[in-house]
Amino acid sequence: MDIVYVRDLRLDARIGIYEWEKRILQKIRVDLEMGWDNRVPAASDAIKDTLNYKTAAKRVMELVESDHYELVERLAETIADTLMHELHIPWIQVTVGKPGAVRGSSEVGVRIERGNRQWQAST
């Protein structure tokens, strides 16, 4: 399986469990790795055959802007589920990090993997 990725997508999010967190925007960082068979777009050289990383990134931005998330776990699951279903992705890895959330750490967060990484397109 090939990988289409978006790294270090930095967004302002309404995220957190504490009352003060519910009143502010916090910086988060999102990484995506998405399974795709890139042989078709490589042969056609046509954007319509790709897993368009710009489309995926814009959808993540919309999801982050649309709601308050108490937990990074819920945001990661929402991203994974939405992208898998809307973009027909067989496998995805989503990392959501909160820079500076823990003193002494550059970032904390979660990484989840969903779907079938061994998926093969029919040839």
Based on the number of CB atoms within 10 Å of its own CB, is 10 exposed (0-12), middle (13-18) or buried (19 or more)?
Answer: exposed
Is 22 among the residues known to form the active site? no
Burial class from Cβ neighbours inside 10 Å (0-12, 13-18, 19+) for residue 28 reads buried
DSSP string, 55-71: HHHHHHHHHHHH-EES-
Check 22, 48, 58, 98 and give the catalytic one. Answer: 98
Are 26 and 59 in contact by the 8 Å Cβ rule? The answer is no
Cα–chain center distance at 113:
10
Residues acting as catalytic residues: 98
